[in-house]
């Protein structure tokens, strides 16, 4: 039950920060952003003390470690793959245009509207 209360408090703080951002519209933008960022930071701090917050922190660390192990393609490989994708998209667009024009022609002939 305490976990749910902490999550609800964090959500209320975040909503209050969002409300405060719009409630002080006459203040300079930096002040408004400070209120919003402060409220979100406070809400994150409250969430840190929940099991869901700790699970999220563990998940984030594991995801960061996994991203470090990814073998990223070289610039040449990325450019080649991008070129292949562009060619494929162009060929598919032309094919769909031909099919569309053919179906239009057939439909016009069947309806007696074609020239």
Q: What is the pLDDT along the chain (115 residues), one digit of tens a residue?
A: 888 999 999 999 999 999 999 999 899 999 999 999 999 999 999 999 999 889 999 999 999 999 999 998 999 999 999 999 999 999 999 999 999 999 999 999 999 886 5
d(CA 34, CA 49): 23
**Helix ranges, 1-115 (H):** 2-23, 29-48, 51-69, 75-111
Whether 90 and 54 share a structural domain: no
73 DSSP assignment: P
Whether 79 and 100 share a structural domain: yes
Residue numbers of the domain that contains 31: 2-69
Considering its fold, how many domains does the chain have in total?
A: 2
d(CA 14, CA 77): 43
The answer for residues whose C-beta is within 8 angstroms of residue 68's C-beta and 6 or more apart is none
Does the pTM exceed 0.75? Answer: no
The answer for residues whose C-beta is within 8 angstroms of residue 38's C-beta and 6 or more apart is 17
Whether 7 and 58 share a structural domain: yes
Whether 82 and 60 share a structural domain: no
């Amino acid at each position: 039950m305490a976990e749910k209360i902490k999550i609800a408090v964090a959500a209320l703080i975040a909503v209050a920060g969002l409300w405060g951002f719009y409630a002080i519209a006459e203040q300079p933008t930096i002040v408004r952003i400070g209120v919003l960022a402060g409220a979100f930071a406070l809400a994150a701090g409250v969430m840190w003390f929940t099991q869901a917050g700790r699970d999220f922190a563990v998940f984030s660390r594991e995801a960061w470690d996994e991203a470090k192990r990814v073998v990223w393609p070289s610039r040449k490989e990325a450019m080649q793959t991008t070129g292949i994708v562009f060619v494929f998209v162009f060929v598919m667009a032309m094919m769909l245009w031909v099919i569309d024009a053919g179906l239009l022609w057939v439909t016009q002939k069947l309806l007696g509207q074609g020239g």
